[in-house]
Amino acid sequence: MSAIDGKILLTRNDSYKAYQKMTPKGIVVHSTAANNPYIRRYVQPDDGIIGKNQYGNDWNQSGVYVSVHAFIGKDKNGAVKVYQTLPFDICCWGIGEGRKGSYNFNPAYIQFEMCEDDQTDKKYCKTVYDKSVKFAAYLCKKYGIKPSKIVSHKEAHEQGYGSAHSDPDNWWSKFGYTMDGFRKAVKKKLKEKVKAKRACNLYSKDYKDPVGNSVSYINVKKGTKVNWELDDGYGWSKIKYDGKTYYVMNGNLNKTGLSKCKKEKLSENIKAFLVKKGKLQKPVKTLKKGKTVKIICNILGGKFQGYSYIKCGTKYYYTTEV
């Protein structure tokens, strides 16, 4: 799975309405200091996964002068999930004010809450901790944030950029977790290496064009080690190899939990070019309504900009109609 499991933006929260743009300079880690591990306590409306807050005291409403960019806690079935709740490039209202200012605004930090339970469940705490490491590493990669710029609410207060709180240190300390350990775990995650499961192409751009060759690529052998960076959520990952950035299909990487290419059942007939031996074949083919296609990639530049590269059955096509 990717670092983010779901997204429900708090569009009725006053911080969202203010929509103050920012460039993230760091990350603040919070915990809720309340015995309620369920995301639904803070996040609504129900998407069918997190469950409904029957008390109406969630944060997605006007007059709730607090917000963060994400929550980590349980869905309605007890599975621990990461839910994004604000765009990562707008200011949240999560840390309050310190003697020097606030990490809400200047400098502005991405902030997330971990939903506490009664602080007695070691397994739950570890699961939330591990999810937080993965999520923080994702944010560091995406926004160029150094692990040294990750702080707890407690540390933010000590630095003069937040109100007087002790989270999450007071919860984590019960099970041997520290912020220094967290930063080390994120740093280790950022250096994670994975192997190619088979010989495959690494593309130099975040759009791919297997036929038009408008994007350069290299071929690597099975077992080649690469530095994994980001899962785009659509079946591809950003990686580093030999000091350069590339993009590769997740199915070629020996790493569990990565996203897969999306599948779509055709609601109508579409026209598509069959791809054979790296070339588009004529005449145009018709793929019938009801067929299921796999969307391998959308081509965002070059000769075939606007096309999608798809698979139907055992054959590959270019089309502009999905």
* Cβ 65 vs Cβ 106: under 8 Å: no
Q: Which CATH class is domain 193-252?
A: mainly beta
Tell me the percentage of the chain whose pLDDT exceeds 70.
98
Buried b (16+ CB within 10 A) or exposed e, 245-268: ebbbbbebbebeebeebeeeebee
One-letter amino acid of 195: K
In which residue ranges of the chain is CATH 2.30.30 found? 193-252
pLDDT in tens, 33-66: 999 999 999 999 999 999 999 999 999 999 999 9
* Cβ 30 vs Cβ 113: under 8 Å: yes
pLDDT in tens, 231-265: 888 899 999 999 999 999 999 999 988 889 999 99
Distances from the Cα of 286 to the Cα of 265, 277, 321, angstroms:
14, 20, 11
Q: How many CA atoms lie within 13 A of 89 on its CB side?
A: 4
How many angstroms separate the CA atoms of 110 and 106, rounded?
A: 12
Res 302 pLDDT > 90: no
3-state secondary structure 218-285: EEECCCCEEEEEEECCCCEEEEEECCEEEEEEHHHECCCCCCCCEEEECCCCEEEEEEECCEEEEEEE
Max CA separation in the chain (angstroms) = 71
Q: What is the pLDDT of residue 281?
A: 86
pLDDT in tens, 83-136: 999 999 999 999 999 999 999 998 999 999 999 999 999 999 999 999 999 999
In which residue ranges of the chain is CATH 3.40.80.10 found? 6-190
Q: Which CATH class is domain 6-190?
A: alpha beta
- DSSP state letter for 41: G
**Angular region, 56: left φ>0, alpha ψ -120 to 50, beta rest:** left
Burial of 59 (0-12, 13-18, 19+ CB in 10 A): buried
pTM of the full structure: 0.78
Res 221 pLDDT > 70: yes
pLDDT in tens, 257-269: 888 999 999 999 9
Tokens representing 295 are 């969307």
How many angstroms separate the CA atoms of 144 and 159, rounded?
A: 22
